[in-house]
Structure 1
Amino acid sequence: MLTWLRDRIRPPRGRDTAAFAAFLERQAAFVAQKTVIDYCRVKAGRHERQTFADPDFLAALAHCRWQTYAAAVGDVTVLAESWLRPHAGGEKARLAAALSAIGATILAGAEPPQGERETLDAAREGLPRLLAAAQESPPVSADRLRLTAEAPLLATLPIHPDQRIGETPSIRGALRFHIVSTQQEMERGFDPAALVQEMRAASLR
């Protein structure tokens, strides 16, 4: 009775790798979109409707979102590796390979506009190196994770640098906030030990 009631209040955490992959894909998109669009809306202020109706702005906005998304997939994948590694025992290389495959599938399945595919392909090819580099250091939490999405975000924001002087810390802070939220959602929604077991079993099939 108590177990049933507990599960109704807080459902058991997931252990399915397909669901976990879908979560990482969704969060990468959320991180990129939320960070970019929220900032642009604040900057547009009373002119939001006109700004978001301008074709040139929309093209630049889409470019920023895709560039940031490509890197954000890597960031949430590395975040997942850091969270799962303590449960992998001596099989961290197998964990990295499984997560690299998940990230690669996410990036390969995306449907970017013309001109953005190259960036996503480069991010996909770089995933093994990104995860290998992460595994050279102890696992870190989201508040200390090095974010590769930061550089393309700042480089491609469709707001002229002259109009965002002194605002870089707040932009970085927003990006960091959404990555931290991703870790919190990950912890609430999934069982890390069970996920590692599922990934191990899948690699042996």
Structure 2
Amino acid sequence: MAGLMELLASFRRAAPIGDPAALSAFLDRHAAFMVQKCIYEYARARSGLLSTKLLEEPAFKTAAERAKWRNYPLCLQGLAIMAEGVLRPHAEDARALAAGVAAAVGTVCRGYETPPGTAFDFWDRAEAAIAGRLIDGAGSPPCAVKDIPIETAEAFFANLPIHPDLRSYDFRLVTNNQRANLLRAYEAFLKEADPPRLARRLSAIPPARA
């Protein structure tokens, strides 16, 4: 997962999103940005004047790295649901589109090694969970973008690298941060994507795996 500054630079170099590979790159780039931005902004806000020292602590760095990988699939899922909702009006078959978006997610997941301290099938389980959510959701109206993070908000919050005793009242703050970041990604997707072409390409590719 690239660092925050590298991700910001990659946004400026982003190519138009018109095929599955470009969608995978968009999902990966924004999921990495969302998870890191939330973790570090929250840590700075929670630690106040001690934030500089906290961010350099080896224990915090280890906890933050663990939180990034555990929360990355949650952000990836939210982005995939958002993209599928934007593209659905341009697709003839909602389930075929959902399968195509799931395949793009699978490309992202298979591009990473197993994160330290996680099960060997970490990415397989993440890919299957996101694919299941996309396919199940294809039969229902798209979720409002601002509400998508609510599905995974509790899991995201539980993974933050701050002791539970110090973050008891911050759930809404963190969830609103996720909602705002997903809305920014949504605006970027609307500007960068070619929905008719992308929906057509995604609907034509086979599912990632059974």
Q: 2:176 aligns with which of 160, 173, 176?
A: 173
**Percentage identity across aligned positions?**
29
Q: Counterparts of 1:130 and 1:165 in 2: how far apart (Å)?
A: 29
Distance change >3 Å, CA 110–CA 121, structure 1 → 2: same
Normalising by structure 2, we get a TM-score of: 0.83
Question: Which residue does the alignment assign to 1:6?
Answer: none
Q: 1:140 aligns with which of 100, 125, 143?
A: 143
Distance change >3 Å, CA 148–CA 32, structure 1 → 2: farther
Q: What stretches of structure 2 of length at least 5 have no aligned partner?
A: 1-14
Question: Which residue does the alignment assign to 1:7?
Answer: none
Q: Which aligned pairs between 1:146-165 and structure 2 lie closer than 5 A?
A: 146-165=149-168
Cα deviation, 1:131-156, whole Å, max 9, x if unaligned, reads: 12222310123112254442332112
Deviation at 1:76, TM superposition (A): 0.9
Q: Counterparts of 1:129 and 1:144 in 2: how far apart (Å)?
A: 19
Deviation at 1:166, TM superposition (A): 2.0
Q: Counterparts of 2:80 and 2:150 in 1: how far apart (Å)?
A: 11
- Give the letter aligned to residue 99 of structure 2: A
Cα deviation, 1:153-179, whole Å, max 9, x if unaligned, reads: 211211122212322111110011111
Normalising by structure 1, we get a TM-score of: 0.84
Moved more, 138-147 or 27-36: 138-147
Deviation at 1:13, TM superposition (A): 5.5
Question: Which residue does the alignment assign to 2:193?
Answer: 190
Question: Which residue does the alignment assign to 1:124?
Answer: 127
Distance change >3 Å, CA 153–CA 48, structure 1 → 2: same
Q: Which aligned pairs between 1:13-162 and structure 2 lie closer than 5 A?
A: 14-89=17-92, 91-116=93-118, 118-162=121-165
User: Highest CA radius of gyration, 1 or 2?
Assistant: 1
Cα deviation, 1:67-94, whole Å, max 9, x if unaligned, reads: 11022111111111111111112x1121
Pairs aligned (count):
191
SS at structure 1 position matched to 2:147:
coil
Q: What stretches of structure 1 of length at least 5 have no aligned partner?
A: 1-11
- Quick check: 1:81–1:99 contact (8 Å CA) kept in 2? yes
Distance change >3 Å, CA 121–CA 51, structure 1 → 2: same
